[in-house]
Amino acid sequence: MARKLKICVTDECVGDGLCVEEAPKTFEMNDDNLAVVKEGKIDDEETILNAAEACPTDAIVVTDEATGEQIFPEP
Ligand code: SF4
């Protein structure tokens, strides 16, 4: 079974929208042109991690919700 991911966008976001292009079901831009995580995210883990890797400032932090282990950026 897929692990449940906790996804955060930090204030390092520079608003280039790359994560929204990579994983549009998970991320969207807010009124301040910063990325936020959508409610009820449904992209798969690979897609979410691709989006996190595409972020130029490593503003997307992904952790395993069950264990608290940080998955990306690699600690
Ligand atoms: S890819 Fe990173 S910098 Fe770009 S909008 Fe998403 S979180 Fe912000």
pLDDT digits (tens, 9 = 90+) for 1-13: 678 999 999 999 9
Coil, strand, or helix at residue 37?
strand
**Residue nearest atom 8 in ligand 1 by C-alpha distance:** 13
Residue 37 in tokens: 């995580």
Query: What pLDDT is stored for residue 42 in this prediction?
Result: 83
* Cα–ligand 1 centroid distance for 53 (angstroms): 10
CATH number of 5-72: 3.30.70.20
Residue 40 confidence class, pLDDT cut points 50, 70, 90? confident
The residue-averaged pLDDT of 37-51 equals 94
State the closest ligand 1 atom to the C-alpha of 29, by its place in the atom list counted from 1: 5
Question: Which residues, judged by CB distance below 6 Å to any ligand atom, belong to the binding site of ligand 1?
Answer: 9, 13-19, 35, 54-57, 59-60
Residue 44 confidence class, pLDDT cut points 50, 70, 90? very high
> Residue-wise over 9-45: b if at least 16 C-beta within 10 A, else e?
beeebeebebbbebbeebbeeeeeeebbbeeeeebee
